[in-house]
Every structure is written in C-alpha cells, then in structure tokens.
C-alpha cells in the first residue's frame, strides 16, 4: 500500500463571517469526513482557498488540522505559492506540525523556463524532510508539468513521491503513469477531476482527490471500495452518480461557496463564508445546489 491512497477530500477551509479561521466548524467537517471512511484529507488545496489566505492563516489551518486529526488519517497539506522561498516557509510549517506530505502547485502568474520550473521543485524538495507531491493544474497556473519534467524531478529528488494531475485529458495522467513509473515504480498518482476516478483506477492510479467527497463521501468512497472489492457493476453505478453531481462546479466561479453550501445542506452545521474575492452564493445559486442534491437523492 502506498503512503497515500484511496479517497482524499480537498477539505474546504471553514471561515467565520468576519473572515477568521473557524476552528469549531473545521473540526466538525474533519470529524464527519473521517467517520465517513475517507483515506486521508488534503488541507489548503484549491478547494481550501489557499490562494486567498495569508501565510499566517495557512499555518494556523495546517497546525489545527494536523492536531485535530491526531493521526486518524494521513494529512496532506498544500504549500504552493508564487515564490520558492514562501513555498519553503509554508512547507517548514507543515513539516513542524507533522504533515504526512505536502502538495506543491507550480508557481503561477509568471511562466518559468523548463530549467527554472525544475529548479523550483528541486529547491523546495531539498529544503524539506518529508514527502513532496507535485500538483499539476495547468488551467490555473498556465504551465503543464510534462511526464519528462516529472520523471527528471523524481530522479533528482527522492522525496518527490507523487502527483495530483488536474487535467481534463486522462491521456496526460496515463502518460504520467506509464513514463514516470518506469523510473519510479512507487510514484503515486491521483486524478483531480471527479469523473476520472473510475477510469484512473483502471489505469492504475492510487486514488483520487475529489471535492465532491466533502458532501457525498458515501458515493465516492463507495466507488473506491467497490473497485477494491472487484464489484465493478457497483463501481459503475457510483461513477454515474458522481458524473450527475459534476455540474455543481459550474454553478459559481470559484466553486468554494458551492461546496460549502452542499456540505451545509447535507446536514453539517458550518459557516459557508468565503474569503474575498470569492463571494457568497446568490439565492438563485443556492437553489441550484439544492436542486442538484435533491436529484442525486442526497437531500
């Protein structure tokens, strides 16, 4: 079994109405996810609003989450930032707090040469004494992590151990699996899009990091469990249920408040506040979320 495997929700960061970290709400969400059978949690991924939080708040969230989880499941922490030194500082915070591993999205805003992109990851990995996972999200960073680049990084740094591949083309993930694992057979791969879980498992991924698992863990964890048990008809049924929920991401951009509203509607008392420039949902958007959940028999 790999260091990380199965269903790992990208957990929303719960905030108060005045934009402070809501520890009570965060604890409620973490406890429900763990009780639902998830295999780990990702703090401060894209769905955790890391890009809108200060470094101080990110460290606060990291320290609280790891302390509250208390070893019940692995905790992966997103530490990506536009600058290498800030990324390292966030990584040291996660390391000190006891993170299982860190997730590093490639620097955004400016495009880097291939050499500078590799040096960024190498510098981060060499500064930390814990496993590092690459986060490939070219739609938001503007720069893809190719199989060639990832392979070179795994050869340069032993603690670069895996990748979250958030790309619409499953062929990219397949290429990562085939090429990178020739150099590192233990390299972990997780697709980022919910509809790719079943296809990814058939190709050999280690699990998935889907935001839908925050409010429908029974469906997403059910798919993974069915696949592991060889119950392919059930896995296909769960896959179709996930596909029916996927339009939830189109209700608002960014989708942060949408996921929080879905969590609230499915029975957890949490604040749905989001950090600006993200905004609360309109009444019409909230109605759309409720309608989608009712159609999926989650309400």
Catalytic residue numbers read 46, 109, 135, 164
Which residues have CB under 8 Å from 60's CB, separation 6+? 21
User: Inter-axis angle of helices 23-35 and 55-69, to 10 degrees?
Assistant: 40
**Which is nearest to 245 in space by CA: 222, 270, 220, 228?**
220
CA distances from 86 to 21, 33, 124 (A): 21, 30, 10
User: How many Å apart are CA 204 and CA 140, to the nearest integer?
Assistant: 26
User: How many Å apart are CA 210 and CA 7, to the nearest integer?
Assistant: 8
223 neighbors 239 (Cβ within 8 angstroms): yes
Which residues have CB under 8 Å from 80's CB, separation 6+? 50, 87, 103, 104, 105, 106, 107, 108, 135
User: What single DSSP character describes residue 176?
Assistant: I
User: How many Å apart are CA 299 and CA 295, to the nearest integer?
Assistant: 8
Which residue in the block uniquely carries the two structure tokens 């500078």? 116
User: How many Å apart are CA 100 and CA 15, to the nearest integer?
Assistant: 24
């Amino acid at each position: 079994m790999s260091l990380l495997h199965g269903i790992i929700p990208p957990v929303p960061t719960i905030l108060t109405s005045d934009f402070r970290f809501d520890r009570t709400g965060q604890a409620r969400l973490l406890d429900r996810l763990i009780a639902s059978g998830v295999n780990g949690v990702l703090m401060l991924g894209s769905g955790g609003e890391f890009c809108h939080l200060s470094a101080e708040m990110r460290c606060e969230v990291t320290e609280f989450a790891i302390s509250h989880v208390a070893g019940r499941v692995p905790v992966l922490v997103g530490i990506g930032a536009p600058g290498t030194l800030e990324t390292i500082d966030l990584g040291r915070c996660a390391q000190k707090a006891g993170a299982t591993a860190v997730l590093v999205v490639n620097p955004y805003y400016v495009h880097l040469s291939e050499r500078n992109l590799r040096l960024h990851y190498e510098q981060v990995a060499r500064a930390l004494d814990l496993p590092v996972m690459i986060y490939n999200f070219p739609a938001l960073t503007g720069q893809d992590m190719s199989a060639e680049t990832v392979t070179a990084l795994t050869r340069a740094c032993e603690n670069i151990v895996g990748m979250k591949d958030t790309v619409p083309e499953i062929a990219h993930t397949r290429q990562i699996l085939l090429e990178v694992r020739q150099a590192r057979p233990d390299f972990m791969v997780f697709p980022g899009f919910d509809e790719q879980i079943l296809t990814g498992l058939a190709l050999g991924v280690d699990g998935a990091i889907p935001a839908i698992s925050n409010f429908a863990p029974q469906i997403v964890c059910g798919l993974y469990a069915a696949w592991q048990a060889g119950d392919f008809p059930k896995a296909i049924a769960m896959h179709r249920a996930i596909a029916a929920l996927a339009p939830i991401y189109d209700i608002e951009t960014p989708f942060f408040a949408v996921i929080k509203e879905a969590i609230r509607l499915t029975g957890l008392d949490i604040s749905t506040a989001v950090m600006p420039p993200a905004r609360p949902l309109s009444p019409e958007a909230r109605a759309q979320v409720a309608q989608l959940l009712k159609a999926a028999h989650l309400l």
